[in-house]
Amino acid sequence: MKVIVEVSARHCHLSGKHLEKLFGRGYQLEPVKNLSQKKQYSSNSTVTIIGPKNEITDVRILGPIRDVSQVEISFTDSYYLGIKAPLKISGDLSDAAPVILSGPKGKVKLFHGLIIARRHFHCDLATAKKLKLRDGQKIKVKITGPRSLIFNEVVTRIRKDFRPRIQLDTDEGNAAFVHGQTKGEIIIN
């Protein structure tokens, strides 16, 4: 089965409390672009990630607001910032690295908030049933083209409201020359 492959660039998800600390009381995210997953969007708001070595400005905040704040970056970003971020599934902040975020109205230190997100496959229930996949199962994804690659250890994330999409970080997407409507072939291990 072929599935659209997306590159998930560095971004952050914020709790309401942290959004207000960074942008001021009563601040609301304004959607500018819907993402492929239902009710997810890119906002017009950005923050700066502050590391011991360097800073990265204009890091997009994705909405909607979450219960817990987290920042997702690539390995290259981690090296540039000087922060050793662990490779984790989005939402798993156990052992996540500390990071400082700066906004127009203040700064926030996330003691466990910075990760490199594992490559994953968002999968709806019908597709999971058709492919006989279970949540957390690892699959392979083959991308053909001028820089063909097979990505191993792609974690399946199943939810009824998901749209089937493979998500890679910027480093991975660049390595496979992913752009536009690139599709990957799912290989069940």
Model confidence, pTM: 0.94
Angle (CA) 78 57 27, round 5°:
115
SS3 151: strand
Between strands 11-15 and 70-73, the pairing is: antiparallel
- Beta-sheet pairing, 2-8 with 97-103: unpaired
pLDDT, mean over the chain? 96
Per-residue pLDDT of 139-161, as tens digits, reads: 999 999 899 999 999 999 999 99
Query: Percentage of the chain with pLDDT > 90?
Result: 96
109, 129, 182 from 142: Cα distances, Å: 38, 21, 11
pLDDT for 95-123, tens place per residue? 999 999 999 999 999 999 999 999 999 99
